[in-house]
Amino acid sequence: NAGVTQTPKFQVLKTGQSMTLQCAQDMNHNSMYWYRQDPGMGLRLIYYSASEGTTDKGEVPNGYNVSRLNKREFSLRLESAAPSQTSVYFCASGGLIVNEQFFGPGTRLTVL
- Which residues would be at the binding site for other proteins (CB under 8 A)? 4, 30-31, 33, 41-43, 45, 48, 50, 56, 58, 90, 92, 94, 98-106
Torsions phi, psi for 84 (to 5 deg): -65, -10
Other C-beta atoms closer than 10 Å to the C-beta of 13 total: 19
- Rounded to whole angstroms, the Cα distance separating 16 from 79 reads 8
Least distance in angstroms from the C-beta of 105 to other proteins: 5
Least distance in angstroms from the C-beta of 102 to other proteins: 7
Least distance in angstroms from the C-beta of 86 to other proteins: 17
Considering the complex, state which of residue 34 and residue 81 has its C-beta at the smaller distance from other proteins: 34
Considering the complex, state which of residue 64 and residue 90 has its C-beta at the smaller distance from other proteins: 90
**How would DSSP label each residue in 31-65?**
EEEEEEEETTTEEEEEEEESSTT--EE-S--TTEE
Least distance in angstroms from the C-beta of 85 to other proteins: 19
- Rounded to whole angstroms, the Cα distance separating 14 from 58 reads 25
Considering the complex, state which of residue 17 and residue 95 has its C-beta at the smaller distance from other proteins: 95
